[in-house]
Homo-oligomer: A and B are copies of this chain.
Amino acid sequence: MLGSVLNTHQQWLCRELASLGYVVTRQVAVADSGEMIEQAVREALARSDLVITTGGLGPTSDDITRDRIARLLGCPLREDPSIVRHIEDLFGQRHRKMPVTTRVQALVPEGATVLPNAHGTAPGLVLEIAAGRWRVGASLLIMLPGPPRELRPMFTNQVVPLLQARFPQLGDFVCRTFKTTGLGESLVEERIAVSLRGLTTQGLELGYCARVGEVELRCGARGPSARHLVTQAEEIIRTLLPDHLFSVGEDTLEATVVRLLTEQQRSLAVAESCTGGLIAHRLTNVPGASAVFLGGLVTYSNEAKKQFLGVQDGTLRSHGAVSAETVREMAEGARSQMKADYSIAVTGIAGPSGGTPEKPVGTVFIGLASQRPTRVIQSTNRYDRETFKFVTSQQALDMLWRVLLKERT
């Protein structure tokens, strides 16, 4: 609640649950205060078939979730010797002495099922809450440890089978995501809304999310005809947004680009100035990128632009490092140096400083070299530094995506 931590649990758990057909109705975050934790859990139990808590099971003094929930439910805590042994073993493997405080993680509320933690010390805990206690029906309460690399495998390997056995009837939601680029949110809706009306009256739900450089559209439906409705929607969307739809599902633009390059057996090199390695980073996040991505040159200095990309000293002098001429030489240099089929290059002024009246902060040139004539586009991306880098990397990937799409058809 102090803003130091980004809540990635919400996104990850919601996505995993949605892929199983379960829809999360509410997500709540509270401070590490015993009273607020108790209140939030009490309210959630009064509302839901399933409540999942994350975090607060660890060894430090602010880890009070287990304790407070046991108190709320009136379950005494007992030390589980097998958990103590597991924690001792973990510290032994790392040749470290087990701090005394760590032992608190072996406390288990009476009646709870223990989910062993294969990647850390604190186990998960599952409690059945009887019908009539907090609401008419029964609820299941699952406490998971906070660190993502402990939580995620525990959820996938232990919680999912448990949910599927316990709540088979709730998992009837079908959802599909469509990612588009090059159109604003209103225009995406304007293109498709009328044609989808027949389906929305039958229960299809539409959700739009405008992001930097892309608009995401989600189609969801419940019940026996859900899959059919969503599939019909997909046909309509594919027909109406052919030049803008780059992904059906969760694929990113970089994953789409890597897939097209792989299909076409083409290789790629990147030369980055103002994006500082982000394009290479995004591409190499995609498993299998090494088959098509040869390498990237982050040429921040003029020296590096000359040395690694063969940018001419005269070009830098007469046009400057941020210019159409320089980005053209960067793209062509990267392509020829790495013997790549395609190359993309970017140069610009990320800010906050470095702008001039003719080339203000946000000015960007993007070049794309291939066997065809090199193309250069210019843009002005006025954002904070990190958004600037992202938008610019998105434009560069978008430019390449459109070229690859044409090559395919």
Q: Does chain B have a CB within 8 A of A175? A: yes
Q: Which residues of B contact A23 (CB under 8 A)?
A: 1-2, 31
Select one of B58, B298, B385 contacting A287, CB under 8 A: B385
Residue of B nearest to A18 (CB): B2
A14 close to B3 (CB less than 8 A): yes
Instruction: Please measure, in the bound complex, the distance between the C-alpha atom of A272 and the C-alpha atom of B296, giving whole angstroms.
Output: 9
Q: What number of copies of this chain does the assembly contain?
A: 2
Q: Does chain B have a CB within 8 A of A140? A: no
Q: Which residues of B contact A280 (CB under 8 A)?
A: 276-277, 280-281, 298
Select one of B32, B186, B287, B288 contacting A99, CB under 8 A: B186
Q: Which residues of B contact A3 (CB under 8 A)?
A: 10-18
Q: Does chain B have a CB within 8 A of A206? A: yes
Residue of B nearest to A146 (CB): B210
A2 close to B15 (CB less than 8 A): yes
A290 close to B300 (CB less than 8 A): yes
Q: Which residues of B contact A278 (CB under 8 A)?
A: 277, 281, 284
Q: Does chain B have a CB within 8 A of A209? A: yes
B304 close to A295 (CB less than 8 A): yes
B307 close to A337 (CB less than 8 A): yes
Instruction: Please measure, in the bound complex, the distance between the C-alpha atom of A177 and the C-alpha atom of B193, giving whole angstroms.
Output: 47
Q: Which residues of B contact A130 (CB under 8 A)?
A: none
Instruction: Please measure, in the bound complex, the distance between the C-alpha atom of A206 and the C-alpha atom of B61, giving whole angstroms.
Output: 8
Q: Does chain B have a CB within 8 A of A24? A: yes
B308 close to A297 (CB less than 8 A): yes
Query: Interface 1/0s, chain A 132-168, versus B by CB < 8 A?
Result: 0000000000000011110000000000000000000
Q: Does chain B have a CB within 8 A of A101? A: yes
B175 close to A2 (CB less than 8 A): yes
30 A-B contacts, Cβ less than 8 Å apart? A2-B18, A2-B218, A3-B12, A4-B11, A4-B209, A6-B7, A25-B30, A26-B30, A58-B185, A58-B210, A62-B208, A102-B186, A148-B387, A277-B277, A278-B284, A280-B280, A280-B281, A280-B298, A281-B281, A281-B389, A284-B300, A285-B386, A285-B389, A288-B353, A289-B300, A290-B300, A293-B300, A294-B300, A294-B301, A304-B338
